[in-house]
C-alpha cells in the first residue's frame, strides 16, 4: 500500500523581512500572515501546508501499523488494508473530494488520537477510524462500493458528512446508481439520496434502531454545523468548565444559520477580504453547551483540528463576526507553526491583558495574534456601516491596542522565539504601529 498522492502544496513599508529568503515560508507570505492580512496567496499556502501535514500523519499511521503487524490480530490487519484500498480507490476517482475529507478538522483530531494511542486495544480501536474516513472519501468521490462495517460504539462518523447510528452494532452500506442503501443486522434499511448523503437533519427506520444524521451546511458557503462527530471536542471538554459539545437537537441549527448569515454580511460590508478569508478557512462550527452563567460566549480552536470553530452561540452578529476573526487567526497560526516553528520549548509565564492566568510564550503569541486581527477589524468597523458596531469598535480598539502592545513587548524580549518567530513578531509590531496612526484602513 502507498498513501494517496500529496496535493500541491496597504501597510507601513518597513525594512525588508530579516528571515532567510529561502525556506518553508516565503518572506512575503510570512509578512502577510504576521500583519493578519487576508491575502489569497497566504490562504492557499496554509491550505497546502495543512494537507501536507495530514498526509504525513496518515503515512505515520501506515508505518506504525506495518511495524506492529506481528502483534495486530489478523482481522484488524485485513480491515485496515481494505479501508486503505478503498481510500486509494476514492483518491484515484476524485482526488479533490478525498482531500476535502482528509483535511476536514475532525479527521485531524482522529489522526492525533490514533497516533497517540498506546499499543493494544486502544490502538486497535482507534484504527477503526480509518474506515470512517475511507467511507466518507468514497462517498464524496462518487465511488460505487459495498462494505459491511462493525460499529462497536454503535456509530459510524463520516467526517464532514454526518453520523450513522445503529443499535445492532453492524451495518452494510451499498452505493449504487447515486443512492446509498444502509441495512442493519435485522434487515432494517435506510435509503439516502446522493453519493454524499445530503438532506440535513436526522432520519430513522420505523423501529428507531437505525438512524442517519446529516450535517447542516451554513448559509452562503461550504462550512457545516458539526453537532454529531464524536471527535469534534476533546475528551476533556473546553475551557475551565470543561464544556462538552452541544448535542443535536440542542445545537439550535436555525439560530446558528441566522447568526452566521448576518455575521458574514456584516464582515463583507466592513472588510470583504476578511469575510472571504473566513469563508475559506472555517470548515466547521462546533456548537458548545450553553454557559451556566451570563458572560461572553466561550470559543476555542483545537490545534489538531484547525478550521473548526468551537463556540457557544453568540448573542448577535457583531459578536459572531469578532469570534470568527479571532478563531480564524488561531487556525492560521496553528497551521503556520507546522510549516515553520515559531518558538522553542521554554517554561516562562507572562501576564496578558485578556487573560487572568499567566500564559507561556506560545499562548502569549496566539493571543496577541488573534487580538491584533481584532484590532484591524475594529479599526475598520469604526467607519463601517453599522453605527452600533462603530461605537463598540472604537471603545474596544483603544483598550485592546494597549494590551497587544504589552504582549508584543514581552514577545520581543523573549529568548524562546525562533528566528522566524522573531521576524513574525517584528511584522506584527509594524502592523500594530500602523493601526495606531493611520487615518484610513489599508487595502
SS3 content of the chain, % helix, strand, coil (to 5): 50, 15, 35
pLDDT of 316 higher than 80? yes
Mean pLDDT of 24-48: 94
Task: Answer yes or no: is 219 within a domain.
Answer: no
Boundary (domain end) residue, out of 214, 238, 262: 214
pLDDT tens across 262-279, in order? 999 999 999 999 999 999
The residue-averaged pLDDT of 373-378 equals 96
For 319-330, what is the mean pLDDT? 97
User: How many structural domains comprise the chain?
Assistant: 2
Average pLDDT over every residue of 198-225 = 84
- Per-residue pLDDT band for 197 (boundaries 50, 70, 90) equals low
Q: What is the mean pLDDT of residues 322-344?
A: 95
**Of the candidates 189, 214, 239, which is a domain's last residue?**
214
Residues 199 and 272 in one domain: no
How far is it, in rounded angstroms, from Cα 140 to Cα 95?
10
- What are the angstrom distances between the C-alpha of 391 and each of 275, 316, 383, 421? 21, 15, 9, 34
Q: How confident is the model over 22-45, as a mean pLDDT?
A: 90
Per-residue confidence band for 401, with pLDDT thresholds at 50, 70 and 90: very high
Q: Which domain holds residue 345?
A: 253-437
Percent of the chain residues topping a pLDDT of 90: 72
pLDDT-wise least confident of 10-24, 165-179, 256-270: 10-24
Same domain, 202 and 300: no
Does 396 reside within a domain?
yes
| pLDDT above 90 (res 385) | no
Specify the pLDDT at position 125. Answer: 93
Q: Give mean pLDDT, residues 279-303.
A: 89
In a domain, 7, yes or no: no
pLDDT tens digits along 86-97: 999 999 999 999
Q: What is the per-residue pLDDT for 70? A: 87
The CA distances from residue 426 to 34, 248, 413, in Å, are 8, 45, 11
Q: Are 318 and 389 in contact (CB under 8 A)?
A: yes
Residue 1 confidence (pLDDT) above 70: no
On whether both 207 and 264 belong to a single domain, the answer is no
Select the highest-mean-pLDDT range: 11-15, 47-51, 207-211, 355-359.
47-51
328 and 199 share a domain?
no
Q: What is the pLDDT of residue 293?
A: 67
Average pLDDT over residues 280-286: 98
Inform me whether the pLDDT recorded for 6 exceeds 60. no
227 falls within a domain: no
* Least confident range of 7-11, 52-56, 266-270, 366-370: 7-11
Predicted pLDDT at 153: 85
- Residue 13 belongs to a domain: no
Q: Are 306 and 176 part of one and the same domain?
A: no
Assigned domain for 244 exists: no
Residue 201 and residue 331 in one domain? no
pLDDT per residue as tens digits for the range 348-374: 999 998 888 899 999 999 999 999 999
pLDDT at 23: 56
| Residues 328 and 194 both lie in one domain | no
Q: In what order do the strands lie in the sheet with 210-214?
A: 155-158, 162-166, 210-214, 201-204
- Domain end, chosen from 183, 214, 245, is at 214
Q: Are residues 424 and 376 in the same domain?
A: yes
> Looking at the DSSP assignment, which residues form a beta bridge with residue 212?
164, 203
Predicted pLDDT of residue 207: 82
pLDDT band at 200 (very low <50, low <70, confident <90, very high): low
Computed on alpha carbons and rounded to an integer, the radius of gyration of the chain in Å comes to 23
Indicate whether 236 belongs to any domain: no
Output the pLDDT for position 24: 79
* Band of residue 57 on the pLDDT scale cut at 50, 70, 90: very high
Q: What is the pLDDT of residue 239?
A: 86
Length of the chain: 443
Q: Within this chain, do residues 193 and 74 fall inside the same structural domain, yes or no? A: yes
Same domain? For 194 and 337 the reply is no
> At 327, is the pLDDT very low, low, confident or very high (cuts 50, 70, 90)?
very high
What proportion of the chain, given as a percentage, has pLDDT over 70? 90
The predicted structure's pLDDT at residue 440? 52
Beta strands at 349-350 and 216-217: parallel, antiparallel or unpaired = unpaired
* Residues 329, 192 share a domain: no
Do 43 and 158 lie in one domain? The reply is yes
Report yes or no on 398 lying in a domain: yes
Q: Work out the mean pLDDT of the chain and round it to a whole number.
A: 88
pLDDT at 411 over 80: yes
Mean pLDDT computed over 3-32? 53
Amino acid at each position: 500500500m502507498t498513501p494517496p498522492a500529496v496535493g500541491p502544496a496597504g501597510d507601513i513599508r518597513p525594512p525588508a523581512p530579516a528571515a532567510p529568503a529561502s525556506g518553508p515560508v516565503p518572506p512575503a507570505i510570512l509578512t502577510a500572515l504576521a500583519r493578519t492580512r487576508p491575502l489569497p496567496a497566504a490562504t492557499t499556502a496554509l491550505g497546502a501546508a495543512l494537507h501536507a501535514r495530514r498526509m504525513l500523519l496518515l503515512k505515520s499511521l501506515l508505518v506504525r501499523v506495518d511495524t506492529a503487524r506481528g502483534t495486530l490480530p489478523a482481522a484488524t490487519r485485513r480491515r485496515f488494508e481494505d479501508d486503505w484500498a478503498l481510500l486509494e480507490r476514492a483518491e484515484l476517482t476524485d482526488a479533490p473530494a478525498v482531500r476535502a475529507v482528509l483535511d476536514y478538522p475532525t479527521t485531524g483530531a482522529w489522526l492525533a488520537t490514533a497516533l497517540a494511542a498506546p499499543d493494544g486495544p486502544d490502538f486497535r480501536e482507534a484504527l477503526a477510524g480509518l474506515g470512517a474516513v475511507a467511507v466518507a472519501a468514497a462517498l464524496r468521490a462518487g465511488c460505487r462500493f459495498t462494505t459491511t462495517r462493525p460499529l462497536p460504539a454503535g456509530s459510524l462518523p463520516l467526517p464532514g458528512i454526518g453520523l450513522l447510528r445503529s443499535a445492532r452494532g453492524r451495518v452494510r452500506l451499498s452505493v449504487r446508481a447515486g443512492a446509498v442503501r444502509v441495512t442493519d443486522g435485522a434487515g432494517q434499511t435506510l435509503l439516502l439520496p446522493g453519493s454524499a448523503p445530503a438532506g440535513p437533519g436526522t432520519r430513522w427506520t420505523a423501529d428507531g434502531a437505525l438512524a442517519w444524521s446529516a450535517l447542516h451546511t451554513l448559509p452562503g458557503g461550504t462550512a457545516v454545523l458539526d453537532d454529531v462527530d464524536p471527535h469534534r471536542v476533546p475528551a476533556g471538554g473546553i475551557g475551565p468548565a470543561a464544556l462538552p459539545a452541544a448535542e443535536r437537537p440542542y445545537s439550535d441549527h436555525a439560530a446558528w444559520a441566522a447568526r452566521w448569515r448576518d455575521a458574514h454580511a456584516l464582515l463583507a460590508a466592513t472588510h470583504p477580504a476578511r469575510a472571504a478569508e473566513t469563508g475559506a478557512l472555517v470548515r466547521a462550527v462546533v456548537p458548545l453547551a450553553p454557559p451556566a452563567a451570563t458572560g461572553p460566549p466561550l470559543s476555542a480552536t483545537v490545534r489538531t483540528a484547525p478550521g473548526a470553530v468551537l463556540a457557544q452561540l453568540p448573542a448577535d452578529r457583531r459578536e459572531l463576526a469578532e469570534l470568527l476573526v479571532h478563531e480564524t487567526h488561531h487556525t492560521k497560526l496553528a497551521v503556520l507553526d507546522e510549516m515553520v516553528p515559531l518558538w522553542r520549548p521554554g517554561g516562562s509565564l507572562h501576564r496578558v491583558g485578556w487573560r487572568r492566568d499567566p500564559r507561556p510564550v506560545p499562548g502569549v503569541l496566539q493571543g496577541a495574534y488573534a487580538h491584533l486581527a481584532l484590532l484591524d477589524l475594529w479599526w475598520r468597523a469604526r467607519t463601517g456601516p453599522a453605527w452600533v458596531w462603530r461605537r463598540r469598535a472604537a471603545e474596544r480598539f483603544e483598550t485592546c491596542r494597549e494590551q497587544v502592545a504589552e504582549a508584543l513587548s514581552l514577545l520581543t524580549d523573549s529568548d524562546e522565539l525562533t528566528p522566524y518567530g522573531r521576524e513574525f513578531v517584528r511584522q506584527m509590531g509594524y502592523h500594530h504601529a500602523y493601526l495606531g496612526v493611520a487615518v484610513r484602513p489599508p487595502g
